[in-house]
Chain A
Amino acid sequence: MATRTIAGKTVAVNEEGFMTNPAEWTQEIAVEIAKEEGIEELTEAHWKVINFCREVGAASGKAPTLRTITNGAGITTKEMFTLFPKGPAKKVAHIAGLGKPEGCV
């Protein structure tokens, strides 16, 4: 299993750069990965979604799909695309230290 150092911490990642152990995640790591994803600053709205995804991840062991997020976090699909442009579910899973959403087989 590959590792990489993000925000001064060495964490396990898969071949697509997704963290494989959600317990290694920190808020600093989220800020760093968000920058790599082209999001310069994580606002309160971003954190609301990230925290929701962390909760779903902790309960189910899986990253939520876009539909789970829009249903559960009180946010529209359109807003998700503004916050996390292009693939929002994948992008937020990456930032939240969860695996790739399983919806896409």
Chain B
Amino acid sequence: MKKLLILGAGTAGTMVANRLNRMLDMDEWQITLVDQDPVHYYQPGFLFIPFGVYSKKDVIKPKRNFIPPQIKLIQSEIEIIEPEHNRVRLTGGLYLDYDYLIIATGADIHPEETPGLAEHEWNQSIFTFYSFEGSVELWKKLQTWEGGRMVVNVVENPIKCPVAPLEFLMLADWFFHERGIRDRVELVYATPLPGAFTKPMASKMLGELLVQKGIHVEPEFYIERADPDEKKIVSYDEREVPFDLLVTIPLNKGAEVVGKSGLGDELNYSPVNKYTFLSDKFDNIFVLGDASNAPASKAGSVTHYAIDLFGENFIRYTSGQKLVENFDGHANCFLESGFGKGLLIDFNYTQEPLPGRYPLPGVGPFTLLEESEANHWGKLMFRWMYWNILLKGQELPFPPTMTMAGKWKA
């Protein structure tokens, strides 16, 4: 029996376990999955919780429901990975040895890395929606908040789902309109980027949308500290942005176990070949999802496309053939823009998001980089697809690599 060990049963770990369970000969392979948390979170849903669009039950389900019975699921913390010995030690001392290891330990937020954030004003006037608990606390706060200056701040890139802060602002604009207090709310986006988004065309078009919605952007803002008493955030170049309510997207880092096992970079992301996800250091280790340092968006859609291609590549590789360098960094995401509308962006490592029409037989086309109601429904439909199709490792009717069909070139 060949042993495949998968660390992490989040989006990437669950999808790849299901996919390989179907593709590998299970008389020859034993798949083991380790995760410390029995709950699976639909992380894209955290965005909607503060505004009461989703409730707790919409975004949590037991992990067990998504793991086929042939796969051994161990609930435990991971102490250390010992790649030289092809084994992993769990907290409590149990050793698991492997022939192949897939690291899918994800990324998480670290508010404690920025002075002033996770102190006495945490969940009082300083919040985050980048965790389940945080989004629920923010929902409670927004029930009774009477207005003022709401500042959304990204501490440092990369972050999970780079469009989520923009969506949050646009949903906030809609939410305060609905509550009849939009005129008493100032919305500010303080970002380390030079504009609304990273790539030029999307930055321009999303920037214009923010202006229309009365959302002020404070660009190139690298936060040094928050001052919880004076209610302001201060940048390294000593600019100050005052707030009544701060919504932070704290520093994102990979799992600590990756770093302490000598497999991470300075943010505990594990260096890989960005086309195949093979570890730079060990030829029997792959890193999937947010845990790797691949310069793609840290998002479930990216992981899904990556795993579409990875499955076949893994079969090739373990039967002695070479890996095909085929993943192009493809991402597409529906962006919620409030008032029942949304946008769609579609891009990869080399092609920035462009406007146009995204073709999808039977349902589409969806408008690219432009608001429409169909995109909003696409976004809401996605939660169903996530629980019922994606996690189970089944294919969606979207090609895994990007197509230029329908995109308008400048």
- A interface with B by C-beta (< 8 Å): 15-16, 66-68, 71, 77-78, 80-81, 85-87, 90, 102-105
The 7 closest A-B pairs by CB, nearest first: A102-B295, A81-B236, A86-B220, A104-B157, A71-B266, A104-B198, A81-B237
A87/B194 in contact, CB under 8 A: yes
Jot down 8 A-B pairs with beta carbons below 8 A, ordered by A: A16-B200, A77-B224, A86-B237, A87-B192, A102-B295, A104-B192, A105-B162, A105-B295
B198/A77 in contact, CB under 8 A: no
B158/A103 in contact, CB under 8 A: yes
Chain A residues within an 8 Å CB radius of B198: 104-105
Assembly CA distance A68 to B269 (angstroms):
12
**Does B334 make an interface contact (CB < 8 A)?**
no
Chain A residues within an 8 Å CB radius of B296: 105
Assembly CA distance A86 to B220 (angstroms):
6
- B interface with A by C-beta (< 8 Å): 156-158, 162, 192-194, 198, 200, 220, 222, 224, 236-237, 265-267, 295-297
Question: Separation in Å of the A22 CB from the closest CB of chain B?
Answer: 18
Assembly CA distance A48 to B295 (angstroms):
27
Known: A77-B222, A77-B224. A67 touches B162 (CB 8 A): no
Assembly CA distance A90 to B158 (angstroms):
14
Chain A residues within an 8 Å CB radius of B200: 15-16
Known: A68-B266, A81-B222, A87-B220. A105 touches B157 (CB 8 A): yes
Known: A71-B266, A78-B224, A87-B194. A104 touches B236 (CB 8 A): no
Chain A residues within an 8 Å CB radius of B194: 87, 90
Chain B residues within an 8 Å CB radius of A16: 200
Assembly CA distance A16 to B193 (angstroms):
14
Assembly CA distance A77 to B113 (angstroms):
14
The answer, among B193, B265, B266, for a CB contact under 8 Å with A104, is B193
Closest A residue, CB atoms, query B199: A105
Q: A66-B156, A67-B267, A78-B224 are in contact. List 7 more A-B contacts (CB 8 A).
A: A67-B156, A67-B266, A68-B265, A85-B237, A90-B194, A103-B158, A105-B297
